[in-house]
């Protein structure tokens, strides 16, 4: 049987999305303020000291042709140091997420993760199904200790990741980068510097049989509207 003609090309692709570095300054009022250069970052709210970037990979060109996006690999690239000057007891929590459904309540999700280490998208306490989460990485950073002193350079002490890498017929794969500060620095003029990053996903665009494609769309619709 001859292959169906499509406007979008079938085969392997690499999608990438750059994300801005984060620079925030502590002050003598006990507040963290973003530097003007960090315009892409949004405050989380709900009394949480942290910020996030929301973006997406646009896969609508494939769904318009009834094609399926199959993730092959997903990862995060970061260039630079993770730094908090005068850190005191400060820790950093970071989340990198790639999923086919937009997060409905991001502040509530982060609040649950910070408070009880649960609520990750696709976890047992989440309303999002694991199959909707293509990739998730959670890390915790603390300052490196040298000679009894905590330096401004932070290193990862906890690095976990999971994801279904399930094929999708969604129009977008939503991207999130979340940085949360836990604790208070030892100096009112502390500064947080988090490096620029890039979300990368290698995919394969395929033309599935009609019945398989329709069932995949049905399942995606049910999960999105759960």
**pLDDT beyond 60 at 2:** no
**pLDDT beyond 80 at 3:** no
Domain count for the chain, please give it.
Answer: 1
**pLDDT beyond 50 at 210:** yes
What whole-number distance in Å separates Cα of residue 75 and Cα of residue 97?
Answer: 10
Element (H, E) at 60: helix 60-63
**pLDDT value, residue 216:** 84
Residue 6 lies in a domain: no
Mean pLDDT confidence for 117-125: 85
Mean pLDDT confidence for 104-112: 93
Residue 7 lies in a domain: no
**pLDDT value, residue 59:** 95
What whole-number distance in Å separates Cα of residue 76 and Cα of residue 53?
Answer: 14
Mean pLDDT confidence for 36-62: 95
Residue 135 lies in a domain: yes
More confident residue, 108 or 146: 108
Digit-coded pLDDT (tens) for 174-192: 999 999 999 999 888 899 9
Most confident of the ranges 2-11, 108-117, 199-208, 214-223: 199-208
> Residues 216, 218, 224, CA angle at the centre, nearest 5°?
100
Residue 4 lies in a domain: no
Least Cα distance to 169 among 131, 226, 126, 123 occurs for 131
Q: What is the mean pLDDT of the chain?
A: 91
Residue 158 lies in a domain: yes
**Domain boundaries, position 178:** 14-224
Confidence of residue 124 (pLDDT cuts 50, 70, 90): confident
Q: Are 181 and 32 in contact (CB under 8 A)?
A: yes
**pLDDT value, residue 178:** 98
More confident residue, 6 or 175: 175
Residue 27 lies in a domain: yes
In a 10 Å sphere around its CB, with 0-12 CB exposed, 13-18 middle and 19+ buried, how is residue 56 labelled? buried
**pLDDT beyond 70 at 1:** no
What whole-number distance in Å separates Cα of residue 151 and Cα of residue 154?
Answer: 8
> Residues 209, 210, 211, CA angle at the centre, nearest 5°?
95
Residue 180 lies in a domain: yes
Confidence of residue 147 (pLDDT cuts 50, 70, 90): low
């Amino acid at each position: 049987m001859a292959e169906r003609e499509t406007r979008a090309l079938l085969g392997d692709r690499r999608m990438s999305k750059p994300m801005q570095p984060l620079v925030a300054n502590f002050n003598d009022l006990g507040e963290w303020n973003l530097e003007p250069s960090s315009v892409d970052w949004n405050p989380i709210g709900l009394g949480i000291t942290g910020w996030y970037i929301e973006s997406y990979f646009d896969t609508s060109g494939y769904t318009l042709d009834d094609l399926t996006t199959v993730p092959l690999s997903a990862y995060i690239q970061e260039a630079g140091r993770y730094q908090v000057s005068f850190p005191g007891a400060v820790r950093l929590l970071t989340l990198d997420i790639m999923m086919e459904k937009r997060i409905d309540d991001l502040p509530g999700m982060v609040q649950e993760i910070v408070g009880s280490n649960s609520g990750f998208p696709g976890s047992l306490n989440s309303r999002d199904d694991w199959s909707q989460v293509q990739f998730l990485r959670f890390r915790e950073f603390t300052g490196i200790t040298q000679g009894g002193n905590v330096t401004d350079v932070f290193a990862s002490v906890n690095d976990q990741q999971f994801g279904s890498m399930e094929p999708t017929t969604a129009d977008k794969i939503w991207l999130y980068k979340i940085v949360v500060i836990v604790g208070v620095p030892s100096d009112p003029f502390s500064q947080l510097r988090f490096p620029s990053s890039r979300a990368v996903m290698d995919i394969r665009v395929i033309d599935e049989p009609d019945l398989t494609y329709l069932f995949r769309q049905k399942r995606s619709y049910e999960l999105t509207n759960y």
